[in-house]
A and B are shown apart, each in its own frame.
Chain A
Amino acid sequence: MFEAFEMMVFFENMIALNNVSITCGEGKIVGIFGSNSAGKSTFMHAISGIILDIKKKEEMRGGERISVFGRVFFNGKDMSAVKPHNRAKAGIVLCPERRRIFPESSVLENLKIGSFLTGGTKTRQNLDYVLDLFPRLKDHLKRQGGFLSGGEQQMLAIGRALMASPKLLLLDEPLLGLSPAYQEIVINGTKAIRDSTGISIIITEQYARPVMPIIDYGYILENGSSVLAGTREELMDNPDVKSAYFGV
């Protein structure tokens, strides 16, 4: 269903992503793990198309030279040159790192902006679904997004992405800075999204431990390269993964 083939990204001469290929089947959750600067966010930007916008802006400003290679296939179509808003239209929606919710808009308005691509009854259905998934948002519908706590902001960011009716949801470090309690809510929510709607999900994280139980397949990134891949069981049995990510 989704395939990123030999993705390479350079910032000037520094290689940020080196020949990373990832596939994600229909209704699967794929995890991508790696430390800071492993290339997780660059990969997410590359497959959501945001890197094209960054590249364009840098070119105009005469700033950093960014080169992107590789191909992105989605439902059999080559999306490599498609602009980010059109990728969202096709169903690839990124829930960005550090959430980036709209701080001056209320929670409800954030969700409404998220429903730009849908309309009518579909918007209503999505809204009901998001509020059922994260009931805590219901209590704060009128509050400004910027005044929510980190965990609530993350729920809102995921909810906002869901309002766009994605077919492939990209979650970039959704657990960043969250308390264990909120981590659990977000992880359970992620699993619930896949189980009830069949949306495929790619999730990146620094800490594999909380995410590992819900993934079907996982990749380990190191310095921009994919060094290890396997199903959940294979990764959890691997001694290197155990020592690096589970401290056993």
Chain B
Amino acid sequence: MEIVVYGIINSITLSLISLGFTLVYSISRVPNFAHGALYVTSGYLTWIFLNKCTGMPYVLAIILGIGITAVVGALIYQFILVRVRGMEISEIIATYAIGLAILEGLRWGGLRGGTFSLPAFFAGSVDILGVSVDYQRLIIVGAGILTFILLYLFTRYTKMGLAFRGIAQDERAAMMLGINSDVTAVLSLGIGSALAGLAAILLLPLGNIVVETGYNVLIFAIAVCVIGGLGSWGGVIVASFIIGFAQILTESFLSAHYQMVVALLAIILTLLVKPSGIFGKQKELEERV
């Protein structure tokens, strides 16, 4: 029973982590390797607001942390990525370099040691199916599901969301209809960074804010996206559950050290068996003439 409950929690955690990465990729075709850095940035900013600005309520600190992270993401596109757009290798190098700069900059700026942690939203725990689960993990599950629903509604029923879907499927055809691809790309990076920030705020109360989290988060996000098929939303959910449960299973039968190995092995297996991922480009939708 423990495996099922914690498997679900772990899966939703993974999908929260990868959501921002896949959103950015599907809309702007930029593989945002600074994703992990933005994740840590958001957590650290919230910690600063909470601890250095006395009297600031937790909610306001969270909103500011996520908001600033979103702006940072948008600025990264506006000033750096716009110059290398369309060159995949350069995009990866540029975003990875930005990520490294941010993470190591934070380390240099004092983010060292295990003294940085965010408080849980509510203390305490509850029994579910005989397994004790703390409130924070329940909030993660709820917020994860809510985020998915909101994103679904946003991309189906709002004008900007529909423009996102258009750009994601055929950039030039969308351009012909008056959609500005640079604006959607900036917005997608902003929203993607905000999602990374949101994941950080939800997950960091379970542990400490350390620089290494940034690298781990990036690897998990890439693993989920490669297995699910880059840029596919359904793929994110399915792949999160596959990796999520695989991790929990190895943790309970082998050892917790193998978590990262599972993610990396899954990448290798996917690339060997079905390189486009589970929900990669559907063949039957190819153009008919």
Which residues of A are at the interface with B, using a C-beta cutoff of 8 A?
A: 48, 50, 53, 57, 60-61, 83-86, 88-89, 93-96, 98-105, 109, 112-114, 116-117, 119, 144, 146-147, 149-150, 153, 160-161, 163-164, 176-177
Q: For residue B171, which residue of chain A has the nearest CB?
A: A53
Contact of A53 among B172, B282, B284 (CB under 8 A): B172
How far is the CB of B236 from the nearest CB of chain A, in Å?
15
Within 269-289 of B, Cβ neighbours of A (below 8 Å) are at 282, 284-289
Tell me the smallest distance from the CB of B161 to a CB of chain A, in Å. Answer: 10
Which chain A residues border B85 with CB–CB below 8 Å?
Answer: 60
The residues in B between 172 and 217 inclusive whose CB is less than 8 angstroms from any CB of A are 172-181
From the candidates A60, A98, A105, A177, name the one contacting B84 in the complex (CB within 8 A).
A60
Cβ contact within 8 Å between B176 and A102: no
CA gap between A197 and B94 in the complex, in Å: 49
Query: A113, B285: Cβ atoms under 8 Å?
Result: no
Contact partner, A116, options B156, B179, B287, Cβ 8 Å: B179
- In the complex, what residues of A have CB within 8 A of residue B87's CB? 60-61
B86, B178, B179, B180 interface centre (most CB from chain A within 10 Å): B178
- Would A61 and B166 count as touching, CB distance under 8 A? no
A96 to B287, CA, bound (A): 14
Q: How far is the CB of B76 from chain A (nearest CB, A)?
A: 18
Interface size class of B (residues with CB under 8 A): 20 to 34
Chain B residue nearest in CB terms to A177: B289
Decide: A102 near B178, CB < 8 A? Known: A116-B159, A150-B288, A176-B289. Answer: no
A147 to B87, CA, bound (A): 32
Query: Does more than half of chain A's interface fall in helix, strand or loop, or is it mixed?
Result: helix
Chain A: CB-nearest residue to B289: A177
Partner of B169, one of A50, A105, A160: A105
Known contacts: A150-B288, A150-B289, A177-B289. The answer to whether A96 contacts B175 by CB under 8 A is: no
A88 touches B86 (CB 8 A): no
Question: Which one of B174, B282, B286 lies within 8 Å of A113 (CB-CB)?
Answer: B174
Instruction: Tell me the complex Cα distance, A146–B289, Å.
Output: 12
| A-B pairs, 6 with minimum CB distance | A146-B285, A88-B178, A113-B166, A100-B173, A117-B178, A102-B169
A93 to B175, CA, bound (A): 10
- Is B170 part of the contact surface with A, judged by Cβ < 8 Å? yes
From A50, A119, A160, B175 is in contact (CB under 8 Å) with: A50
**How far does the alpha carbon of A150 sit from the alpha carbon of B287 in the complex, in Å?**
9
Given A61-B86, A103-B169; A98-B287 close (CB under 8 Å) = yes
A116 touches B169 (CB 8 A): no
Q: Does B163 contact A (CB under 8 A)?
A: yes
